[in-house]
Structures are given as C-alpha cells and as structure tokens.
Amino acid sequence: MPFANRVLVPLLCIGLAVSAAACAKKAAETPSTPAAQLSVTGLDLGRSVGGDKRVSEKVSDFHPNDVIYASVLTSGASQNAILRARWTFEDGQLVNESEQTIAPSGDAATEFHVSKPDGWPVGKYKVEVFLNGNPAQAKDFQVK
C-alpha cells in the first residue's frame, strides 16, 4: 500500500467517525416534542359557567341584572402565566380589571365574571383578554 493511502485512509475514517458521533449527540440533545407555548384559543361570553369553567350558553346580549361570565380557553403549557380581563363601557370607560395567574400543563379554561348590584347601565361593552400583558382576544357585547 502506498504511503499516502496508509496515512490518508485511516485519517479519513477517523474524521467520518467523529462527524457521525457529533451528529448523533446533537440529535439526542434535541427534544423530539417540545412543550407547546401557551396561547389563548378562545373567548366566550355567557350568564353561567360549568365546573369546566366554560360557558353553558354563549350569548352577546345581557340583561341589567345578569352576572356576566367570560370564559378564556388556553392551549399549551406554562409555569407562570398571567391572564387579565379588562371590561370597558362604550367609549372606553373602565368597568373592571382582574387577573388570574395560571400554570397549565395543557388545555385549560379560565373564567372571569363581573356583576353590578344596582344593575348594568344599558349600552355597549367590551371585554379584552391579555396574556402576560399582550392583547390576546376581545369580544363586544350589549346590555339591553
């Protein structure tokens, strides 16, 4: 065997082996199914919620003496996420704002509810939902 072959062939083999090992290590380090990032997938309004925190009947028109529920559906996981519901009246007058801190490991539902003992003024309202401070979903409704 010529000198070049005696030296180059083993070097080439070593190089290939190192490359293959590096690729294998990289593959092992990459998680096959990364945890899905938390996102808001739905926002429903209603007059009541069940044990699953979802509204029993979706409505967008309420009566002055109703308790108004907003059910926020989320998907994905998080160890610490803040959902905020902001309720406003007509030209943006703040009605109420509240937060719920959650640590879901999968699909979840979070309900926010508001009531007014002396009755809601008739008019147009809006509820906006924020996830970690970022606008996620919004819905308009009316009190008639």
Binding site for another protein (CB under 8 A): 52-53, 74, 79-80, 83, 85, 87, 89, 93-96, 98-105, 108-118, 121
Least distance from another protein to the Cβ atom of residue 122, Å: 10
Least distance from another protein to the Cβ atom of residue 98, Å: 5
Reading the block at residue 122, the tokens are 């008739």
Residue 81, φ and ψ in degrees, nearest 5: -130, 145
Distance (Å, rounded) from C-alpha 101 to C-alpha 114? 18
3-state secondary structure of 38: coil
| Residue closer to another protein (CB basis): 79 or 142 | 79
| Residue closer to another protein (CB basis): 60 or 98 | 98
Q: Give the neighbor-by-neighbor strand order of the sheet with 93-102.
A: 61-62, 134-143, 123-131, 81-89, 93-102
Least distance from another protein to the Cβ atom of residue 29, Å: 26
| Residue closer to another protein (CB basis): 59 or 76 | 76
